[in-house]
């Protein structure tokens, strides 16, 4: 993280030699803080309700967080490029609806094909948005706001305004999200797989590093010959594909596809990213942070009802925690900047 | 293939941007193993020229030859593959990424087959390059944590990592101290000795004499000529760059110097500047110069209430001044012409008139309602006074040339009842004709009794316009020069020399 390294340099002064290890330590500060907060929260809830830290409940939280965390990976990439994607809730609904309609029509379809249909629909949605953003140069917030409504409209249109409910879906389809391997729910396994692939992508491939470069300094990226348009397109396509996958998982998990599925869910995903330290200004964001952000939101969703907090207060508390996290981050950064100035001797 | 006489040759290059000819029939030849200086005033087209060479801009006309073979670059990667690397004026780095990544961006080392990035190898290679360049920081450091000089070294390491045969440096010394510049000279010479050809762009004659064997001059987007460095005298070179005798450009008239308006006593702001003392009197033009990053803008912003100082005092008209915001500063009588007129000085999508009256809207409003007629009258009057060339006051500010935009910003200042004007780089990016008009305006303002602080990096205008000049280096005032002692050499010495005598502020301030 930028501020961390600046700070290390501040402490080290002229001798930068040891800054590697020190900056690495402070860079973890944010994730450690988040982790600490999660632990304290869990212990606190556990004291009020002993059934919180049971195997079933933890597995429950993980299952419920899986979809959020899958989407947060894509959103992280989008935000790192200085963009935003408001359409993912609608993309999720559309691809979930299309795959649900498909399996209700062809009950013998292999579940993997159903997943393929959903991912395909999501991918197309993402490609369209990527085209608007990278080629037509429409601001991401406008492009995705527009397409959000388009996709939502399409969802109602394809379903004729009706739901696809549990009895219309074959068991094999519902098993996608409810089944498990070695006692671990499929959703969790899928999320883990996606995080492994994403980690490899962002840290060990050229394209992954270029995503960061574009967000860190777009003009420079252009000058050094990075084809920024293509990378933006790719990023929105990945986001679309993940939304499509999430759509299938969502419909399979809740065994119902509706016109207003996941309405407003994009905001939770953005919140998870922001909590996890992804900078809306672009260029900064880590998978470890994002996953903690998603887990924190998941825990809040699960724990607050368990300790009898009213649903109205739950929203209030979630919002406050996001604001506090951002505030603390800003304060820490300001302090480090000041230290940095003190270092400059005049 | 026999080695061509020139590694790089450009013939008749013309580049047109909407509304301006940025390059007009330009020529350039670069020999192998040569350091070739490219000089010219701001806006002469040097930066555009570089972007043509590096494939960022495609020229409308003209041909480019590499080792005698005709090439045309469609994309920056084409130039990179051909062995051309550029170190740009505004360091073009990725502050959020590590030094290693900055060095290898665009040509990362990857595993064949899996295309996985070979981090270990890259870190090692980066470490080796940095060591070679004498840098003491780790390749894993974040770019944003480095100083400008250190970032410059990373940029050079980047050029080395692609084995560039042609390296272009666009004002690399602009923000460096003397020692750092010296270090850069050594590195540049070593690059040349290793067989690279270097195009070195600079405003500093010192750089050119120290390094280059040839010099090419551009002026107003045109090619003026190429000379051997030891063949052309300094005055001739200046004439080539400026295209006129320097003195005629500056209509400086002796204004009547009146009472003291402003005095700074030991002003300091942690991390930006320290111990800044000078005074300003009515009718006086005080130059504030020094290299980029010396703290000039920060001092001015403090005077104007944009940021706060934490040491020393400001005395304005005999009373201690404590302004907390630009609004308060304007109220007491201090006006500020920002450095970036497009971002800070104008609302580009508004007409000239509305821009001019923006700071004075209170005068035309009656219980919140604006009196449009009065507003328009004043706008017209002021636009005329500063000589804005436009069809009407309704012309959009974005449609004006740089010089005319600057005049509008001046007119804006004149709406207020001010005593002190702070002008931050008032002629930056303005063409020669408009420059002269702006100088005339500044002279008139001084005659009218304003006290003027002119911040500028351009030596000729500082020498031509100012009654006294305060030179800053690394946050401190290193010299205050009177008009008699005002030479380019004296200013350069004070702005760069590490051993310059400690501030002589008291003598200067009292003079």
**Mean pLDDT per 10-residue section of chain A, whose length is 346 residues:** 38 37 50 85 90 89 93 96 95 95 92 94 96 94 95 93 88 88 90 96 92 90 85 96 96 91 91 89 90 92 87 86 80 67 54
DSSP A83: -
ipTM attached to this prediction:
0.77
Residues 6 or more apart in contact with residue B23 via CB below 8 angstroms: B13, B14, B15, B45, B48, B49, B52, B59, B221
Helices assigned H by DSSP within A135-284: 140-159, 171-178, 186-204, 206-216, 218-223, 228-254, 265-275
**A16/B117 touch (CB, cutoff 8 Å), yes or no:** no
Residues in chain B whose Cβ is within 8 Å of chain A: 51, 54-56, 75-77, 80, 86, 88, 92-97, 101, 105-106, 108, 110, 115-117, 119, 136-138, 140-142, 144-146, 270-274, 295, 474-476
Q: Which of A4, A16, A213 sits opposite B97 (nearest CB)?
A: A213
Give me the residue from B92, B142, B270 closest to A220, CB to CB: B92
Among the partner-chain residues A206, A220, A284, the one whose CB lies closest to the CB of B108 is A206
Which chain B residues are closer than 8 Å to A212 by Cβ? 94, 96-97
Q: Convert the pLDDT of each residue in B50-67 to its tens digit.
A: 889 988 888 989 999 999
Tokens standing for residue B504: 């002589």
Residue in A226, A338, A342 nearest the CB of B106: A226
Q: Do residues B262 and B315 make contact, with C-beta atoms less than 8 angstroms apart?
A: yes
Look up residue B83 and give its two tokens: 């062995």
**Local confidence pLDDT in tens for the 511 residues of chain B:** 446 788 999 999 998 876 667 888 999 999 998 999 998 776 678 888 988 998 888 898 999 999 988 998 888 888 888 889 888 766 678 888 899 999 998 788 888 888 888 899 999 999 999 988 888 888 988 887 777 778 888 888 888 888 888 999 988 876 676 677 888 888 889 889 888 899 998 877 778 888 899 999 988 788 989 999 888 877 777 778 766 555 556 767 777 888 888 999 999 988 788 899 999 999 999 999 887 667 888 898 899 888 888 889 999 888 888 888 888 888 888 988 887 777 778 888 888 888 888 887 777 777 778 778 888 888 888 888 887 877 788 888 877 777 788 888 888 888 888 899 999 888 876 766 677 778 888 888 898 888 999 998 777 788 888 999 999 887 888 889 888 878 777 777 777 655 444 444 333 333 3
Closest chain A residue to the Cα of B276, Cα to Cα? A346
What integer pLDDT is reported at residue A23 of this predicted model? 42
A contacts of B295 (beta carbons < 8 Å): 346
At A204 the three-state DSSP class reads helix
- Beta bridge partners, A185, equal A180
CB contact under 8 A, A217 and B274: no
Partner-chain contact A209 B92, CB within 8 Å: no
Beta-ladder partners of A164 = A257
Residue count (chain A): 346
CA–CA gap between residue B26 and residue B122 (Å, rounded) = 39
Helix, coil or strand: residue B207 = helix
The two beta strands, A164-165 and A256-257, are antiparallel
d(CA A277, CA A268): 14
Comparing alpha-carbon positions, the chain B residue that sits nearest to A10 is B145
Return d(Cα B126, Cα B143) in angstroms, integer.
Answer: 13
Nearest 5 degrees, angle CA B313-CA B314-CA B315? 115
DSSP result, B216-276: EEEETTEEEEEEEGGGS-HHHHHHHHHSS-GGGG-----PPP-SEEEEEEEEEETTTEEEE
Across the interface, which of B55, B105, B119 has its CB nearest the CB of A213?
Answer: B105
A contacts of B142 (beta carbons < 8 Å): 2, 4-6, 23
Inter-chain contact A224–B75, Cβ cutoff 8 Å? no
Q: Rounded to whole angstroms, how far apart are CA atoms B273 and B288?
A: 14
Q: Which residues lie below 8 Å from residue B399, measured CB to CB, with a gap of 6+?
A: B390
Taking the C-alpha atoms of residue A233 and residue A133, their distance in angstroms, rounded to an integer, is 7
Least Cα distance to A283 among A198, A207, A337, A212 occurs for A212
> Looking at residue B100, what is its pLDDT?
93
As to burial, measured by CB atoms within 10 angstroms (0-12 exposed, 13-18 middle, 19+ buried), residue B444 is: middle
Q: Tell me the torsion sign for CA atoms B108, B56, B181, B482.
A: negative
Radius of gyration of chain A (CA): 21
And the tokens for A210?
């270029």
pLDDT at B3: 60
As a three-state string, the secondary structure of B145-175 is: HCCHHHHHHHHHHHHHHCCCCEEEEECCCCC
The closest CB to that of B141, out of A5, A200, A226, belongs to A5
B502 secondary structure, DSSP code: P
**Do residue A346 and residue B274 have CB atoms under 8 angstroms apart?**
yes
Cα–Cα distance list, B383 to B349, B355, B394 (Å): 17, 11, 11
Round to whole Å and give the CA distance between B246 and B311.
40
Q: Residue B278 has what pLDDT?
A: 92
Q: pTM for the complete prediction?
A: 0.74
**Fold of the domain built from segment(s) A37-345:** ABC transporter involved in vitamin B12 uptake, BtuC (1.10.3470)
CB pairs under 8 A between A and B: 123
Contact check, Cβ <8 Å, A15/B136: yes
The Cβ of residue A280 has, within 10 Å, a number of other Cβ atoms equal to 15
Burial classification of residue B2, based on how many CB atoms lie within 10 Å of its CB (0-12 exposed, 13-18 middle, 19 or more buried): exposed
Helix or strand or coil: residue B381? helix
Contacts of B141 in chain A (CB under 8 A): 5, 9, 16, 19-20, 23
B208: left (phi over 0), alpha (psi -120 to 50) or beta: alpha
Q: So what's the pLDDT on residue A336?
A: 64
């Amino acid at each position: 993280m930028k501020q961390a390294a600046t700070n290390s340099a501040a402490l080290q002064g002229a001798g930068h030699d040891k800054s590697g290890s020190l900056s690495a330590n402070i860079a973890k500060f944010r994730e450690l803080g988040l982790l600490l907060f999660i632990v304290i929260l869990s212990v606190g809830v556990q004291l009020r309700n002993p059934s919180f830290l049971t195997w079933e409940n933890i597995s429950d939280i993980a299952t419920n967080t899986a979809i959020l965390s899958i989407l947060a990976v894509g959103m992280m990439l989008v935000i790192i490029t200085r963009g935003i994607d408001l359409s993912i809730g609608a993309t999720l609904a559309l691809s979930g609806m299309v795959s649900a309609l498909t399996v209700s029509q062809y009950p013998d379809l292999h579940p993997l094909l159903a997943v393929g249909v959903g991912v395909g629909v999501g991918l197309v949605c993402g490609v369209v948005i990527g085209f608007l953003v990278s080629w037509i140069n429409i601001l991401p917030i406008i492009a995705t706001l527009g397409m959000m409504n388009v996709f939502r409209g399409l969802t109602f249109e394809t379903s004729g305004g009706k739901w696809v409910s549990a009895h219309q879906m074959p068991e094999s389809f519902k098993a996608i999200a409810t089944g498990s391997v070695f006692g671990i729910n499929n959703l969790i396994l899928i999320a883990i797989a996606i995080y492994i692939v994403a980690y490899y992508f962002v840290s060990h491939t050229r394209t992954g590093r270029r995503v960061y470069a574009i967000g860190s300094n777009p003009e420079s990226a252009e000058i050094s010959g990075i084809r920024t348009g293509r990378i933006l397109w790719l990023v929105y396509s990945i986001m679309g594909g993940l939304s499509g996958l999430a759509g299938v998982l969502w419909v399979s998990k809740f065994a119902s596809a509706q016109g207003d599925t996941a309405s407003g869910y994009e905001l939770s995903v953005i919140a998870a990213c922001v909590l996890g330290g992804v900078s809306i200004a672009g260029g900064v964001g880590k998978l470890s942070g994002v996953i903690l952000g998603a887990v924190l939101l998941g825990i809040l969703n699960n724990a607050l009802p368990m300790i009898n907090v009213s649903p109205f207060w739950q929203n209030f508390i979630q919002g406050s925690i996001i604001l506090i996290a951002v505030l603390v981050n800003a304060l820490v950064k300001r302090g480090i900047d000041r230290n940095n100035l003190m270092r400059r001797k005049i | 293939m026999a080695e061509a006489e020139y590694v790089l040759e450009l013939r008749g290059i013309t580049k047109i941007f909407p509304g301006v000819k940025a390059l007009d029939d330009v020529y350039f030849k670069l020999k192998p193993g040569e350091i070739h200086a490219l000089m010219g005033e701001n806006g002469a087209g040097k930066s555009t020229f570089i972007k043509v060479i590096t494939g960022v801009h495609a020229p409308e006309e003209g041909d480019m030859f590499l080792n005698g073979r005709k090439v045309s670059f469609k994309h920056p990667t084409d130039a990179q593959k051909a062995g051309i690397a550029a170190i740009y004026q505004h360091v073009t780095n990725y502050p959020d990424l590590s030094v290693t990544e900055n060095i290898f961006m665009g040509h990362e080392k990857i595993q064949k087959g899996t295309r996985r990035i070979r981090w270990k190898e890259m870190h090692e290679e980066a470490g080796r390059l940095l060591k070679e360049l004498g840098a003491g920081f780790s390749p894993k450091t974040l770019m944003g944590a480095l100083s400008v000089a250190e970032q410059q070294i990373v940029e050079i390491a980047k050029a080395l990592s692609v084995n560039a045969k042609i390296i272009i440096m666009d004002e690399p010394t602009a923000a460096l101290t003397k020692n750092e510049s010296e270090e850069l000279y050594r590195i540049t010479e070593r690059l040349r000795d290793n067989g690279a050809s270097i195009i070195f762009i600079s405003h500093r004659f010192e750089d050119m004499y120290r390094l280059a064997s040839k010099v090419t001059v551009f002026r107003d987007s045109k090619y003026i000529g190429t000379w051997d460095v030891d063949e052309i005298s300094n005055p001739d070179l200046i004439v080539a760059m400026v295209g006129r005798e320097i003195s005629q450009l500056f209509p400086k008239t002796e204004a009547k110097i009146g009472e003291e308006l402003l005095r700074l006593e030991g002003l300091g702001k942690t991390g930006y500047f320290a111990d800044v003392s000078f005074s300003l009197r009515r009718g006086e033009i005080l130059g504030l110069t020094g290299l980029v990053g010396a703290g000039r803008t920060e001092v001015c912003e403090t005077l104007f209430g944009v940021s706060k100082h934490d040491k020393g005092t400001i005395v304005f008209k005999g009373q201690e001044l404590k302004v907390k915001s630009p609004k308060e500063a304007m109220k007491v009588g201090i006006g500020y012409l920002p450095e970036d007129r497009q971002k800070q000085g104008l609302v580009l999508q508004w007409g000239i008139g509305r821009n001019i009256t923006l700071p004075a809207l209170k005068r035309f409003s009656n219980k919140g309602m604006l009196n449009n007629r009065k507003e328009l009258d004043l706008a017209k009057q002021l636009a005329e006074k500063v000589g804005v060339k436009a069809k009407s006051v309704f012309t959009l500010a974005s449609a004006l040339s740089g010089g005319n935009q600057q005049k509008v910003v001046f007119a804006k200042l004149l709406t207020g009842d001010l005593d002190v004007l702070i002008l931050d780089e008032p002629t930056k990016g303005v063409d020669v004709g408009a420059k002269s008009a702006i100088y005339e305006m500044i002279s008139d303002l001084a005659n009218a009794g304003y006290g003027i602080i002119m911040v500028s990096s351009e030596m000729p205008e500082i020498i031509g316009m100012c009654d006294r000049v305060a030179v800053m280096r690394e946050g401190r005032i290193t010299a205050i020069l009177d008009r008699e002692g005002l030479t380019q050499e004296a200013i350069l010495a004070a702005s760069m020399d590490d051993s310059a005598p400690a501030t002589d502020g008291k003598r200067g301030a009292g003079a």
